[in-house]
């Protein structure tokens, strides 16, 4: 067998294994090991590559950014930061029709700036925002759709676990990825807000709620109370992102500062006891080990593909086909969105990037911009059936059994379309992504 046959064969076997339910990291590791064995004709060489690849993948100071930002995310969740952001945004937007939906988007954008996991956002705001929207007469589809749509901001507005993973795979600065995600994230949040206002006016039966805005019974918070709720959030965002943007420290240092700040906030708000601290540490360990396993497997997969010559073959074939950069991007985005209907976000990155990054480099594409385009395309898959991970998280978190999975998917559909529109803008106008670099 030639190197190309072995390379493409291992990719096909890996996809079958994933379809059969094998964990993506296990599938990547097994096929990579088998591929090197076949290419070099020696299990000893494959074993040596396995051990060296595992060490090289995680034996880096930069890798410490993963547990630090994960720890920060869990701590701010414990501290009810998402609830505070929602209450403030709700009061500020209460006079607008669809105001609770806009408040959910605004709060999710704030929450995204201090945690990097979309699934955490979906779980938090399902508990916080959906019951409020249902209480004020919003339809179940719209209420859950807003939460599903705005939850993707957790992976786009930095810090983002998906950006960290992309930075490792593409060997680009995680700090640059963070800065590049700010404007696209804000653009998406604003697009959601405008669309909610339009839907509330044009499709009132779909949205529900009051025609004159969301009244708030009881006492309103004073400006001082609102400031006290937002101050810890603002300080944490300024410390983390301001430190990176100002050049005071790198992404790893920012993770340490953010984790320390989140710990202080949780302690000051008296939300953290010994039991919750242990729970946070265990969950942080679980996520970190899972990400480490994925990164190790992806490193092995990349090395095996390089040995087989598959990336070089694809670069030559696509260049010879005359697709051009936009043609390649259109095919790539379509592939990623389709994969998102069946596979989770991190798995898509691990499978496609080792094949596609050499092609993007061959077209002289900025890999930071390419990463943001990839992440937005991948996140559309969180809202689309049959997989739709954010939708399933909302369904499992929601206490109201009357809200069906189909209703949540219907509510999330307009937000998936909005994401697609924003994605097209980012492709056509790269400066929207690169302006802050």
Please state, in angstroms and rounded to a whole number, the distance separating the CA atoms of residues 213 and 232.
Answer: 29
The CA distances from residue 78 to 3, 73, 175, 273, in Å, are 50, 9, 26, 10
Digit-coded pLDDT (tens) for 79-128: 888 888 888 888 888 778 888 899 999 988 888 887 767 777 888 888 88
Digit-coded pLDDT (tens) for 335-355: 888 888 777 788 888 888 988
Q: Structure pTM?
A: 0.83
Task: Compute the average pLDDT of residues 197-201.
Answer: 91
Q: How high is the pLDDT of residue 213?
A: 59
DSSP state of 403: S
**Residue 294: other Cβ atoms inside 10 A:** 23
The CA distances from residue 196 to 38, 40, 150, in Å, are 55, 57, 11
**Residue 365 token pair:** 């594409």
Burial per residue of 3-41, b for 16 or more beta-carbon CB atoms within 10 angstroms, e otherwise = beebbbbbbeebeebbeeeeebbebbbbbbbbbbbbbee
């Amino acid at each position: 067998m030639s190197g190309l046959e072995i390379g493409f064969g291992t990719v096909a076997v890996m996809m079958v294994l994933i379809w059969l339910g094998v964990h993506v990291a296990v599938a990547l590791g097994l096929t990579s090991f088998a591929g090197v064995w076949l290419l070099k004709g020696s299990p000893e060489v494959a074993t040596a590559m396995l051990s060296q690849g595992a060490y090289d993948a995680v034996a880096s100071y930069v890798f410490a950014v993963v547990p630090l930002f994960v720890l920060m995310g869990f701590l701010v969740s414990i501290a009810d930061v998402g609830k505070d952001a929602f209450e403030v945004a709700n009061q500020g937007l209460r006079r607008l029709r669809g105001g609770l939906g806009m408040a959910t988007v605004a709060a999710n954008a704030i929450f995204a700036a201090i945690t990097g996991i979309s699934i955490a956002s979906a779980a938090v705001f399902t508990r916080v925002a959906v019951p409020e929207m249902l209480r004020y007469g919003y339809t179940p589809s719209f209420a859950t759709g807003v939460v599903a749509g705005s939850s993707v901001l957790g992976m786009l507005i930095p810090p983002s676990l998906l950006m960290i993973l992309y930075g490792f795979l593409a060997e680009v600065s995680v700090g640059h990825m963070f800065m590049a995600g700010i404007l696209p994230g804000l653009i998406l949040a604003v697009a959601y807000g405008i669309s909610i206002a339009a839907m509330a006016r044009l499709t009132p039966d779909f949205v529900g709620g009051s025609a004159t805005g969301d009244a708030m019974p009881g006492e309103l918070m004073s400006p001082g109370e609102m400031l006290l709720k937002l101050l810890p959030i603002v300080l944490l965002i300024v410390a983390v992102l301001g430190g990176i943007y100002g050049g005071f420290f790198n992404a790893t240092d920012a993770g340490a500062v953010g984790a320390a700040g989140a710990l202080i906030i949780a302690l000051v708000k008296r939300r953290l006891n010994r039991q919750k601290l242990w729970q946070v540490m265990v969950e942080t360990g679980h996520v970190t080990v899972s990400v480490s396993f994925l990164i190790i497997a992806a490193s092995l997969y990349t090395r095996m593909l390089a040995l087989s010559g598959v990336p070089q073959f694809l670069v030559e074939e696509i260049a010879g086909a005359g697709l051009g950069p936009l043609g390649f991007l259109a095919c790539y985005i379509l592939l990623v969105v389709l994969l998102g209907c069946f596979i989770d976000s991190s798995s898509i990155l691990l499978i496609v990037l080792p094949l596609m990054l050499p092609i993007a480099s061959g077209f002289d594409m900025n890999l930071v911009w390419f990463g943001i385009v990839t992440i937005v395309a991948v996140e559309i898959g969180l809202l689309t059936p049959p997989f739709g991970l954010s939708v399933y998280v909302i369904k499992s978190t929601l206490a109201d059994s009357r809200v069906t999975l189909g209703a949540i998917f219907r509510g999330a559909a307009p937000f998936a379309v909005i994401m697609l529109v924003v994605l097209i803008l980012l492709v056509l106008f790269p400066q929207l992504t690169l302006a802050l670099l």
